Amino acid sequence: MELERQFAGPLQDTVIQRLRDPVDGTVCYLYLPISVAHSPTTQNGFVQYGANGIGSINCMPGEQAAAAKPPARK
C-alpha cells in the first residue's frame, strides 16, 4: 500500500489517510487518531491503550480489480 493523500479528520486530533495498492488498485481509507491516551510505559517499553477507538479502515476494489471481474451471467 502506498500513501496517496492525507486529510484532516472530522474530529480534533484525527486524520484520514488514503492508501492505494499499486498491484490491483485497491483503495483503503484509514481513520486514525493522532493523540490517544494510554498507560505509563512499562519496563518492557509497552503501553496499554484504553477503550477508545484506535481507528478504522474501509477498503474497496480499485478500477483494475473491478475491470478484472467477469461479467455477471443472466
Q: Residue 71: inside a domain, yes or no?
A: no
Q: Residue 73: inside a domain, yes or no?
A: no
CA-to-CA separations, 67 to 27, 30, 34, 45, in angstroms, rounded: 14, 24, 36, 46
Mean pLDDT of 3-26: 92
pLDDT-derived band of residue 66, with 50, 70 and 90 as boundaries? low
Residue 58 confidence (pLDDT) above 90: yes
Domain with 39, as residue range(s), is: 2-66
State residue 38's pLDDT score.
Answer: 78
Q: Residue 46: inside a domain, yes or no?
A: yes
Average pLDDT over the chain, rounded to an integer: 83
- Write down the residue that cell numbers 479502515 correspond to: 57
Closest CA to 1 of 16, 22, 15, 17: 22
Residue 32 confidence (pLDDT) above 80: yes
Q: Residue 74: inside a domain, yes or no?
A: no
Q: What is the total count of domains within the chain?
A: 1
